[in-house]
Structure 1
């Protein structure tokens, strides 16, 4: 939910569509490096790992370089083995100052490496992990890539010509950070390091946290980074078509809209007009011969303050039971003049990319760096794309 306008996310790292510098001859150089200084795509020198170590030690620690596959510091899982993504050498060193390790991969062909990483991200997204790669720790340098385990290490390395490679199309670079062209389409290179725990690069686009008490350096006190809007239910249905089950299963019939199930309950209860809602529709398959599937509700809103006031009261009543919101009750995501009610985390992830934000009225709530956090129209609530139970990874 890192993206201080990040995830909000505008889902727009489609705009990050650019990372390490790409030269006309197909050779890769780090941002800022000249074409003549770029190492040609080819077999790495025998001392490529040592050269990468020497380069990184100008900016942070990189001690005890090891190359053995059984080195316990060598990452597992999301790290290429020799032969993958054109990688011909791997190693790992320790950054004592950053209190973490740095895995190093030397590819024979940097473009093939970036293409391999992009395909890996796309495969993870297709497998249901839609947020994978938003918080990338893949830093591309001259002829090598580094995978730091510490945010402090990553940010130190970004003082160099190294850049973060981001290939999730939902990623985005805040104002004030670099956006540079990669060697593959659909990715981006940036000096913005997004960390889920808030320890990454500072993002000064997010408005002041209204529940945090006091100003936050560099953040405006008021305003919004932009919210979704639509002129009608039909426009809203089209807007959310890729996030919700609205294309084939959609109804504005009052009886159908009033349907709910034990698994899918709307945020809006009773007469929708009393909530400031002017139009309402149901997406998904209502219970019939089988159990209901993927129910969500679309709303056009004539009085957003009234809607948020009623939603706040409903959340507070829900919290009185056990201090938690019911998982089967839909969360209310709002735009400028529209709203969507859904209890599907994956659907909400897509809606955050469309500039919807969740109305959160839980006392003491705050969001880590990189997530959007804006003032709601009622006291005691905020608009955000951060969900503690379903953080973006």
Structure 2
């Protein structure tokens, strides 16, 4: 499935600090295409990222230091901290100077680019992204760490650096992405860039779970009544919700789950390679499921592939109770789930079942959480860990390797 490959590639790139940005590529790109003739939109011209900014590398360094550290600035192309030969440089993308500094808070490096023509820089970034996406790298720019101001841009080699730069309410820096499938959750800014086809945002997407913190309102189910199923008893930072299968499909397709082919059915659909959590013997309602659909290619002349299940849920506690029993039965023999077994990710009144980690990574960005019933499970700092509807389980966006 195309979108599975997108997120799988994104997860792999996250482990490579020098390849997880919107501007970097092993092959050094050529000079940028000519700037477009269309003028920048008024909203882009008025956006914070288009505000006043320094016109020297030292000035760019000082600007970055408003939000995080940027120490030991150097323009040496042989600087040992990072292989600058792998980045765009002076003469490309309307760049006049390039340097590197260290964010000691992350810790990690920042590669700075000075440009007197930000519109030309963004056009070159768009051209480069368009080329790579056409070559099959559909994930390019979905987890961008390219940050732009008015006269300078930078690549943050660590997610934490990018978050520090764009997250403060008063920040005039933005993430630049030119991937048409980029997703910006509710609560974050999504502004027009200086060229069509690119956006500016203060949302940092990251498959490692270390991106921008959730900005939704904290909910307390004790004050919201019974119409909010699925909320943990002690409150939640917020979970995904949808009013119908069609609305759920619209939420996750095509960003995470490819539902180009979707079948709404009460029949029990599975394959040798894809085992759903809900095993209802033809009646998913006994699991608390209201409406059910399967996305992907069903078995026939060829084996089924890329199956993922979408559920709207009328009784979240029943669903989680039965899913817990199934999960513990699977873990009983060797402490591991079958490779073909799906995991249940839930929202307030919706669920998605998938055995694809790349799909789950994408769903975490939509505020779905995985129902984990392993004894003694906990999650590292920075990941969500909330109480489930059933005793002995938690909801989390952390998965052990």
Relative to the length of structure 2, the TM-score reads 0.65
| Aligned partners of 1:124 and 1:132 also within 8 Å | no
| Aligned partners of 2:77 and 2:85 also within 8 Å | no
- 2:47 and 2:120 mapped to 1: Cα distance? 14
Query: What SS is found at the alignment partner of 2:328?
Result: helix
| Aligned partners of 2:184 and 2:190 also within 8 Å | no
- 2:273 and 2:297 mapped to 1: Cα distance? 12
| Aligned partners of 1:98 and 1:153 also within 8 Å | yes
Shift of 1:313: 1.6
Relative to the length of structure 1, the TM-score reads 0.66
Matching residue within 79, 86, 89 for 1:81: 89
Q: Is 1:101 the equivalent of 2:109?
A: yes
| Aligned partners of 2:44 and 2:192 also within 8 Å | no
Shift of 1:82: 3.2
Shift of 1:223: 3.9
2:286 corresponds to:
274
Q: Is 1:69 the equivalent of 2:60?
A: no
1:250 corresponds to:
263
1:187 corresponds to:
199
Bigger mean CA offset, 300-309 vs 58-67: 58-67
Query: What SS is found at the alignment partner of 1:274?
Result: helix
Query: What SS is found at the alignment partner of 1:260?
Result: coil
2:10 corresponds to:
none
Q: Is 1:283 the equivalent of 2:311?
A: no
Matching residue within 142, 165, 171 for 2:175: 165
1:227 corresponds to:
240
- 1:298 and 1:200 mapped to 2: Cα distance? 26
Per-residue CA deviation, residues 99-130 of structure 1 (Å, 9 max, x unaligned), is 54332111231123234445656666774564
| Aligned partners of 1:182 and 1:189 also within 8 Å | no
- Call closer, same or farther: CA 1:52–1:240 in 2, change over 3 Å: closer
1:366 corresponds to:
379
| Aligned partners of 2:43 and 2:191 also within 8 Å | no
| Aligned partners of 1:100 and 1:150 also within 8 Å | yes
Shift of 1:312: 1.2
- Call closer, same or farther: CA 1:174–1:366 in 2, change over 3 Å: farther
Query: What SS is found at the alignment partner of 1:322?
Result: coil
- 1:237 and 1:201 mapped to 2: Cα distance? 24
- Call closer, same or farther: CA 1:327–1:238 in 2, change over 3 Å: same
- 2:264 and 2:270 mapped to 1: Cα distance? 13
| Aligned partners of 2:261 and 2:297 also within 8 Å | no
- Call closer, same or farther: CA 1:351–1:107 in 2, change over 3 Å: same
| Aligned partners of 2:145 and 2:155 also within 8 Å | yes
Shift of 1:71: 2.6
2:270 corresponds to:
260
Q: CA RMSD in A?
A: 4.4
- Call closer, same or farther: CA 1:338–1:293 in 2, change over 3 Å: same
- 1:197 and 1:284 mapped to 2: Cα distance? 26
- 2:368 and 2:395 mapped to 1: Cα distance? 9
Shift of 1:31: 4.9
- 2:47 and 2:250 mapped to 1: Cα distance? 42
Q: Is 1:111 the equivalent of 2:115?
A: no
Matching residue within 294, 297, 318 for 2:330: 318
- Call closer, same or farther: CA 1:340–1:203 in 2, change over 3 Å: closer
Aligned residue pairs total 338
- Call closer, same or farther: CA 1:154–1:26 in 2, change over 3 Å: closer
1:298 corresponds to:
310
- 2:261 and 2:59 mapped to 1: Cα distance? 57
- Call closer, same or farther: CA 1:384–1:114 in 2, change over 3 Å: farther
Bigger mean CA offset, 150-159 vs 296-305: 150-159
Shift of 1:90: 1.1
Bigger mean CA offset, 68-77 vs 336-345: 68-77
- 1:184 and 1:74 mapped to 2: Cα distance? 30
- 2:208 and 2:161 mapped to 1: Cα distance? 15
Q: Which has the higher contact order (CA 8 A, sep 6+)?
A: 1
Shift of 1:49: 2.6
- 1:97 and 1:76 mapped to 2: Cα distance? 21
- 1:194 and 1:248 mapped to 2: Cα distance? 27
